[in-house]
Amino acid sequence: AACCRPPVLLVHGFFADASEFVLNPPESSPGMILADTGFDVFLLNVRGTTFSQRHLNMTNDDPESWKFTMDEMAKYDATAAIDKALQLNGASALYWIGHSQGTMLSFLMLADRPEYNAKVRAMFELTPAGRIHNTRGLTKLGFWIVNKLAPILSIYKMLFGSHEFGFRAPWFGGSLSRLVCSALNYEVRITDALSETSFLNSQALSPVRNERICELRRSRFPVYLSHLLVSTSTWNFLHYGQHAAHESILHFDASPAENMRRYGQINPPSYNFSNIDTDIYFFWSRNDWATAPEEIEQWLIPHMGPGVIKGTFEHPEYSHLDFAVATDVADRIFNVIVDIVREYETNACL
């Protein structure tokens, strides 16, 4: 049965949840594309997001429930999702498709828990994230501010812990989209109009490129906006700022005392990417302001083990969110992934 329906785990990006994979009509939603192809599709919502806020013992108002970063997402959420998917499907390994933060989680998971290499047959990384040193736009400004305020934030972390970080209201997307679309009555990329207000990058709100967005995608634009700014924790946001300030990817620097409790040392240890031994395929763009090409070419690729990266696919016409919500994502991204998976399955089922 597993050979007939290969399991695929879709893992969402930062300030998003798994709904980003099903926002469009079936022919242009990654989750639907893969399911209609015959794959067994699983969606992971990491802790703190819209569909993962029901802690067994704590409420959302309890700061303890928000004491997490991508460390916990990788070590616990990702591994639990893999185990559950394999249990339900019956296969021995699955295919990981990560977007943005979802790519980072796969790297951290395999670096820290290398036994999961055997449970992931291949990873397809959409806009792969590394140290995020070379982000642009407001993303870079946000991380710069975080690092400049590092001494103050260190005291804050020790005194007040972590909290919910984000903003989500159903009316937000509809209101903003009506405002934008009423103002844009001529052909213009939405990225130019919102470049100063985008929280991800100057192209973050560009689900379709070189088209009249307000005419063609008017019905979808409120949907995209209403699913942005999904909650995470303040610690997780600070962890991103930490990545932007260091030459290597480290575990979260909570405090000297907390670091001793967690890691047995005052400073957080780095992740050992040489433990990653799963086939990797990169899908990326030079026009992505959130995950810069310098990070991929000069850091991620050199830090992977020899022979691990099996393919890189550049799409210069795409921006950061296009890899999940573009209307032509089937032809450009997911049909390619389907063909690669079928090659793996042909060999596995012989």
Residues 256 and 260: their CA atoms lie apart, in Å, by 6
Is 320 tagged catalytic? yes
Active-site position among 100, 162, 226, 233: 100
Active-site position among 40, 243, 320, 322: 320
Token representation of residue 4? 């007939």
In one-letter notation, the amino acid at residue 58 is: M
Identify which of 28, 194, 155, 9 has the alpha carbon closest to the alpha carbon of residue 86: 9
DSSP code per residue over 329-348: HIIIIIHHHHHHHHHHHHHH
Structural contact between residues 166 and 181, judged by C-beta atoms closer than 8 angstroms? no
Identify which of 128, 347, 321, 50 has the alpha carbon closest to the alpha carbon of residue 209: 321
Torsion of CA 149, 154, 160, 161, to 10 degrees: 110
Q: Residue 72 — φ and ψ, nearest 5°? A: -70, -35
Is 270 tagged catalytic? no
Structural contact between residues 322 and 286, judged by C-beta atoms closer than 8 angstroms? no
Sign of CA dihedral 315, 137, 128, 307: positive
User: Tokens 């830090």 appear where?
Assistant: 303
Token representation of residue 95? 């295919």
Can you say how many angstroms the Cα of residue 283 is from the centroid of all Cα atoms in its chain?
13
Is 100 tagged catalytic? yes
Q: Residue 211 — φ and ψ, nearest 5°? A: -135, 165
Structural contact between residues 34 and 336, judged by C-beta atoms closer than 8 angstroms? no
DSSP code per residue over 89-108: H--S-EEEEEETHHHHHHHH
Active-site position among 40, 71, 279, 288: 288
DSSP summary character for residue 269: P
| Residues catalogued as catalytic | 100, 288, 320
